[in-house]
Structure 1
């Protein structure tokens, strides 16, 4: 087991952290209405509340990616699971034909679906979470 990350992994981890932090801030401010287009109508919650909660979560995850190097394996898995959890919102946007973020055709919305696995892979690779998953079974 190694605790070392290559410069490329650090760069991916920090970039993904910055991306998540920015996305979270946009959930809470200038992008709030657009993000509501991704909230599945079947979710029994106020879409604005969902956007606010997911924004706060993204800010926390982004900052964690950038700062919690000793917990990077845990954070990597949590971020990957977050990307899995929000995927139904991307599907809902497609199925409901809702425009947001320039995704104004079904073709663009379908193309976006293929980006979610990339984000999951980046979270696991950039933190070394997949490689060093044995750390999850050990006590700190």
Structure 2
């Protein structure tokens, strides 16, 4: 299996793992939900978990890969405010936790680029 064939499956695996953790351990995700959003944080946690699982399935399947990868890039942009909230909420925590929270911010860029790359390399069937 070539790197270009493996990349979408790795992205799908990352999305699936993240999606599952939204249900297995939702509390940390609840804390990322900006208070300006309507409803409960847990509803948003579960909704984003469902979205990640759906995106994982779409990216894994060649027929839907292009569209799902573009949606994944948009999803990564959409959850960025939660990462900003985490960084702000954790700015007074011990240095290792604060560093981890702030390190998440620039990591969204390679995730978005990865998803866009998967979309660009997908066959135009979706």
Give matches, 1:53-92, under 5 Å. Answer: 53-67=47-61, 69-92=62-85
With structure 1 as the length reference, what TM-score do the two structures score? 0.78
With structure 2 as the length reference, what TM-score do the two structures score? 0.85
Q: How much is the aligned-residue C-alpha RMSD, in angstroms?
A: 2.4
How many residues end up aligned between the 2 structures?
Answer: 123
The alpha-carbon deviation at position 98 of structure 1 amounts to: 7.8
Greater helix content? 2
Compared CA separation, residues 98 and 39, structure 1 to 2 (3 A): farther
The alpha-carbon deviation at position 51 of structure 1 amounts to: 0.3
Which 5+ residue runs of structure 2 have no aligned equivalent?
none
Which 5+ residue runs of structure 1 have no aligned equivalent?
1-5
Give matches, 1:80-119, under 5 Å. Answer: 80-97=73-90, 104-105=97-98, 107-119=99-111
Q: Return the structure number with greater relative CO, CA threshold 8 A, min gap 6.
A: 1
Structure 1 residue ranges, 4+ long, deviating more than 3 angstroms after superposition = none
The alpha-carbon deviation at position 94 of structure 1 amounts to: 1.2
